[in-house]
Amino acid sequence: MAKYIVKRILLAIVTIWAVATLTFFLMNMVPGGPFLSEKAISPQATAALEAKYGLDKPMGQRYLTYMADALHGDFGDSLKQRGRTVMDIIKMKFPVSAKVGGVSVLVSLLLGIPLGCLAALKRGKTLDSIISVVATCGIAVPSFVICTVLMYFFGVKLKLLPTMGLTSLKHYVMPVMALSFYPTAYIMRLMRSSMLDVLGQDYMRTAKAKGVHGFKILFKHALRNAILPVITYVGPMLAYTVTGSFVVEKIFTIPGLGGEFIGAIQGRDYTLIMGTTIFLATLIIIMNVVVDICYKIVDPRIKLK
Amino acid sequence: MSKYLVDIQNERLSFFTPAGEVKALNDVSIHLEEGEVLGIVGESGSGKSVTAYSLMGLTAHPGKLLGGSLVFEDKHIENMTEKELRQIRGNDISIIFQDPMTSLNPVYTVGNQIMEAILLHTDKTKAQAKDRARELLELVGINEPDKRLKQYPHELSGGMRQRVMIAIALACEPKLLIADEPTTALDVTIQAQILELMMELKDKLGMAIIMITHDLGVVASMCDKIAVMYAGRIVEYGTTEDIFYRSSHMYTKGLIRSIPRLDTKEHERLVPIEGTPVDLLNPPAGCPFAPRCEACMKICLNQMPPKTEFDDVHYTNCWLIQKEEFEKGAQNE
Amino acid sequence: MNKNPLSFQLNLNPEDFLPASDEEKQSQVVMRESVSFWKDGMRRLRKNKVAMVSLVIIILVMILSFIVPSFYPYNYKDQIKGANNLKPMQYSAQELERIEAGEKVFPHIFGTDKMGRDYAIRVMMGSRISLLVGLIATGIILIIGSVYGSIAAFFGGWVDLVMMRIVDIIYTVPDILLIVLLSFALKAPLAALVNVPGFGWVKTVGENLISIFVVFALLYWVGMARMVRSQVLMLKESEYVTAARALGVSSGKIIRKHLLTNCIGTLIVTTTLQIPSSIFTESFLSFLGMGVAVPLPSLGSLASDAINGMNTNPHLLFVPAILISLIILSFNLLGDGLRDAFDPKLKN
């Protein structure tokens, strides 16, 4: 187990390095730069700014400097938000996105898993059809549609919920609904099909033949086997959701990391792009390792190599 | 008090599939005394497993019991609630399934799965259940039981897993053990060991066994009585001697002719039964075996053969026997 | 021996006991007709009402977006003077005058947008673009993903290891980043390409749309590649492939006859399910303003444009939003139906 974790960490470092390198060169090869769009700045000022941030140096040298700094945990200053380091921005924006995202993931797990199980148990009955239809519709509606529809009905027409910001519990309702809509539907479908698969297994018949109680068959024997695909899905999904959805953050005006990232890309804020990309990649890789370890705990057949 | 431990009378059971009603069991009657071994023989789909499963109330989803009575120790299984059935399952009646590879839950240890049955049906504490589980593993011939208890099914070989299945089945000393093709998925050498073990345990514990198999060799060596099933019906029933030496149904005869024998002459071929089983969605009006029967008569195709009883035990459903009687009767008149 | 010879009395005739002929025996055998895999699958698909309804909806949407615009009285980029922000079925002042004058004016079924363009035709064109993106992108994904995945699985060893690491890396880079960077990067070369003879179409399609295809080609095949790889790996280990190999069947024939035929069901299903996901992504990109070039509409860009005027003209938002959900839903349901019909593991 320890050997496995060490191996995974080494592999993770290589992957993060590859992602960072890829991003760095792609980003720098693209024509244009962070200070081109600001027309008010004179060419001299642009040159001065570029010199200040080291953008005038050759790409290879910049790459080496950046990587060396990044190794020490220094991701540099934001090019566009003067006086702020990339770390400051991530530290400030990530908790906002993480709170909304975390609640959303929790909601989708708490709704998706039981409803998916229920549909599988009531296979072919009305309840199953209802859940399946809702789930299929759920994965068919793009998030901006959900956001705007929610906004229109609850925010504008009924005036039940606040439409901007994140200051009270009420503010969470719409973003969380919008964010958890797709994952809930997806988990329901995943859970239903994997539960159906498990219910048809021979060991379920064995459990029944032993005289095990219906509920215990479900919770002890079926759920643990059926939950595996959900774990696989939830790991990366959690990483993506806590780092913020651009659409949801834009529509509900939430000051989160998702919006910041898109802003950085559009404004060519090189250092911020690099910082957030590395942050997101690290998070995803960590989640993947966590998923693998959860897998091992849930299913003893899996050998971690 | 009935003299039988198990007494199934005229059981009828159908599966209601989207394609239509599949008549899986038609008028099946079986009885079995305490400590007796009954073999149920037949091709796949002949209804042998369904008969046994229905005795535990384990009929799979679209299946429905349509009639007949299933009595176990004077209690009517067919009228039991799910809760009453649960008390019998794993306690009075246990079952061993065909494929030990898939019949154990992969995510729990062997010990956990054996102890589950013990804890369900007895008042034993966890520690006592563990002792009992260790005892059971020894009983089924598994060495190093302490180590095995902590292992997961995928760490054991097929034969070992089937032994574990037997240990689970025997956990509460059942009065009846149903073995559903317990050796089909195993190597030939392991097969013999498992069968030997079952017979040993039967003598030790005095339980009755229903042995479901398509292997006549297995029933010949183990069973007191044999029921031959075809297309959801019992075509012949009798003691092992009756079936092997005095078989009267053409299907039984065909089965026996298709077993390889030591005294077969060189170049002599085994005789297979030609044709395929009937489609139970559209069962024929007459004897279901008629289209494959080499002695098929006109009446066989139109009318179900009546039961002919030779003695208390041995009976068959075949028009050929009726023909003999008919001709005898005609001569007498 | 016979205790009870005739258990119950029947009216029997000696003729009854005559041997039956083979024809008589055969007449009793009701065989279920044996059907091929494809025939069987199609039969099950046709029986699946939900999937068939979805198929009809997809065909209807295709007719609406590919055929109807060619004879529709309005054009998606023509701005009708004085007809800005019309409500559905409303006419502009000029049009009302023309109607008074006895002229027939085709109604604006969904009204017009703020630039006075007929919204119904824009929605139709939008769904044409969305469908095209879905279909073409899926084609690209299918080809790259299946080739990559099967190569990795077939060769195995370190080839597989390296190829799958690359997949992992692509999987980890935030896709939105690559999309934006690529669309910036591709802008100049594509703009230059417009002037090359024979590449004039690039301008009409829009550089962004081409970047989207390139992005799909570069990024979104990874899921398909993983799926194909695991399928091929599983099949490679299966006993019938080992058996075929033991019989001396050539590699090419094994791939064609065993691997391909067994993969194809899963491939069709994954492809059908990939189409809505491509449409989904395109609509998301259009929403971010990185989709098709103006004045070409896509369902995503239409919805995104309508968000600001949501309070006054909600129908401008809801029409494309509902249509896109309907298209994705239909493809999903059709894909589910195909899976149920063609996945041999789920038979029965």
Q: pLDDT per residue over B59-105, tens digit each?
A: 877 788 888 888 988 888 888 888 888 888 988 999 998 888 889 99
Categorize the per-residue pLDDT at C4 as very low, low, confident or very high, splitting at 50, 70 and 90: very low
pLDDT at B113: 92
Q: Is B250 on the interface with C (CB under 8 A)?
A: no
Backbone torsions φ then ψ of B211, nearest 5 degrees:
-105, 115
Q: Does C346 touch chain B (CB under 8 A)?
A: no
- Tell me the Cα Rg of chain B: 21
Enter the ipTM: 0.82
Residues of C in contact with B293 (CB under 8 A): 25
CA distance A239 to chain B (A): 27
Residue C346 has pLDDT above 50, yes or no: no
CB contact residues (below 8 A), chain C span 170-229, against chain A: 172-174, 176-178, 180-182, 184-185, 187-188
Please tell me the predicted confidence (pLDDT) of residue C145: 87
Report how far residue B100's alpha carbon sits from residue B77's, in angstroms, rounded to the nearest whole number.
Answer: 27
User: Residue C152: which of C213, C243, C224 has the closest Cα?
Assistant: C224
For the CA atoms of A245, A246, A247, A253, what is the dihedral angle to 10 degrees? Answer: 100
Residue with tokens 């520690």: B127
- Reference A143, options A111, A121, A176, A120; nearest CA is A176
Q: What pLDDT does residue C347 have?
A: 40
Counting every residue written for chain A, the total comes to 305
Q: Which domains, and CATH codes, for chain C? A: 43-78+117-346 (1.10.3720.10)
For the stretch B120-128, contacts whose Cβ atoms lie closer than 8 Å and that sit 24 or more positions apart, written own/partner, are: B120/A210, B120/A211, B120/A212, B120/B90, B120/B91, B121/A211, B121/B87, B121/B90, B121/B91, B121/B171, B121/B172, B122/B172
Q: Residue A139: which of C287, C324, C332 has the nearest Cβ?
A: C332
The pLDDT of A1-6, averaged and rounded, is 79
Chain centre to alpha carbon of residue A108: 13
At A261, the amino acid letter reads F
Q: Which two tokens stand for residue B130?
A: 């563990």
Which pLDDT value is given to residue C193? 74
Query: Which of B184, B157, B164 is CA-nearest to residue B104?
Result: B164
Share the mean pLDDT of chain B: 85
- CB-CB contact of C167 with C225 (8 Å): yes
Mark yes or no for CB contact C310/A31 under 8 Å.
no
Kindly list the residues from chain B whose CB atom is less than 8 angstroms away from the CB atom of residue C16: 297-299
CA B309, CA B129: separation in Å to the nearest integer?
Answer: 48
3-state helix, strand, coil in chain B (%, to 5): 40, 25, 40
Tokens 């080739």 -> residue: C147
Cα of C185 to nearest chain A Cα, Å: 5
CB contact under 8 A, C10 and B319: no
For C168, the closest of A15, A30, A148 (CB atoms) is A15
Residue B151, exposed/middle/buried by CB under 10 A (0-12, 13-18, 19+)? middle
Dist CA C281 CA C275 (whole Å): 10
Q: Is B105 on the interface with C (CB under 8 A)?
A: no
Q: Give contacts of C332 with chain A, Cβ < 8 Å.
A: 136, 139-140
Q: How much of chain A, in percent, has pLDDT values that exceed 70?
A: 96
| Averaged pLDDT, A115-137 | 87
Question: Does B105 contact A207 at a Cβ distance shorter than 8 Å?
Answer: yes
d(CA C300, CA C123): 10
Question: C174, A143: Cβ pair inside 8 Å?
Answer: no
Tell which residue, A154, A160, A152, has the closest CA to residue C310.
A152
**Calpha distance A273→A27 (Å, rounded):** 9
Q: How many angstroms separate the CA atoms of B277 and A173, rounded?
A: 62
Q: Cα(C308)–Cα(C325) distance, rounded to whole angstroms?
A: 20
Q: Do B301 and C20 touch (CB under 8 A)?
A: yes
- What pLDDT was estimated at residue C2? 42
Which of A100-104, A289-293, B206-210 is least confident?
Answer: A289-293
Q: What DSSP string runs through B142-178?
A: -SSHHHHHTS-GGGS-HHHHHHHHHHHHHTT--SEEE
Closest CA in chain B for residue A220: B108
Q: How many residues does chain B have?
A: 333
pLDDT at A41: 63
User: For position C204, what pLDDT does the model report?
Assistant: 67
- Alpha carbon of A70: minimum distance to chain C alpha carbons (Å): 17
- Per the model's pLDDT, the better-predicted residue between A237 and C252 turns out to be A237
Distance from CA of B209 to the nearest CA of A (A): 16
Residues 45-84 of C with CB under 8 A from A: none
**Nearest-CA distance C156 → chain B (Å):** 25
Chain C (16-75) residues lying within 8 Å, Cβ to Cβ, of chain B: 16-20, 24-32
Span A161-182, average pLDDT: 83
Instruction: Map out the domains of chain A with their CATH numbers.
Output: 95-257 (1.10.3720.10)
Write down the pLDDT at residue C160: 85
Q: Return the residue in B54, B84, B107 with the most chain A beta carbons within 10 A, the one to mutate for interface testing.
A: B107
Q: Both tokens of residue A43? A: 């060419």
Neighbours of chain C (3+ CB pairs under 8 A): A, B
Interfacial residues of A (vs B; Cβ cutoff 8 Å) = 201-203, 205-214, 220-221, 224-225, 298-301
Q: What angle do CA B129, B132, B137 make, to 5 degrees?
A: 125
Q: What is the pLDDT of residue C35?
A: 62
Per-residue confidence (pLDDT) for residue C200, from 0 to 100: 67
Calculate the alpha carbon distances from A42 to A39, A45, A81 in Å: 8, 5, 19
DSSP state of B219: H
Strand pairing report for B37-41 and B208-213: parallel
**What are A58-82's pLDDT values in tens digits?**
888 888 888 888 888 788 888 777 7
If you measure CA to CA, which chain A residue comes closest to B97? A206
Q: Is the pLDDT of residue A154 over 80?
A: yes
Could you write out the DSSP letters of every residue in A215-233? HHIIIIIIHHHHTHHHHHH
Average pLDDT over residues A110-135: 89
Q: Which of C7, C10, C24 sits opposite B309 (nearest CB)?
A: C7
pLDDT at B330 over 70: no
**Does the pLDDT of residue C7 top 50, yes or no?**
no
Tokens describing residue C195: 């002037």
Half-sphere exposure of A203 (CA within 13 A, CB side): 26
pLDDT of residue C293: 67
Tokens 């030997």 — which residue? B196
- Most confident range, picked from A159-168, B292-301, C206-215: B292-301
Q: Which of A241-255, B155-169, B306-320, C72-86 has the lowest mean pLDDT?
A: C72-86
| Rounded-to-integer distance, Cα A2 and Cα A10, Å | 12
Distances (CA, A) of C153 to C143, C163, C238, C251, C255: 16, 10, 14, 14, 12
**Block residue for tokens 């050929």:** B320
Average pLDDT over residues B215-222: 84
What tens digit of pLDDT does each residue of A252-275 get?
888 888 888 888 877 778 888 888
Mean pLDDT is highest, among B271-285, C30-44, C104-118, C150-164, for C150-164
- C-alpha to C-alpha distance for C92 and C304, rounded to whole angstroms: 25
pLDDT number for residue B211: 92
Q: State the CB neighbour count (10 A cutoff) for residue C57.
A: 17
Q: Mean pLDDT for chain C?
A: 77
Name the minimum distance, in Å, from the CA of B292 to any CA of chain C: 8
pLDDT tens-digit map of C36-51: 667 777 888 888 888 8
pLDDT tier, C166 (very low <50, low <70, confident <90, very high otherwise): confident
B contact set with A (CB within 8 A): 56, 58, 82, 85-91, 94-95, 97, 99, 102-108, 116-117, 120-121, 152, 154, 165, 168
CA of C341 to nearest chain B CA: how many angstroms apart?
15
Token code pair at residue B89: 């399952």
Which segment of A91-100, B152-161, B281-290 scores lowest on mean pLDDT?
B281-290
pLDDT of residue A305 exceeding 70: no
DSSP-assigned states of every residue in C291-331:
SSPTTS--HHHHHHHHSTTTTT-HHHHHHHHHHHHHHHHHH
C246-273: per-residue pLDDT in tens?
888 887 777 777 777 777 777 777 787 7
B262 DSSP 8-state letter: T
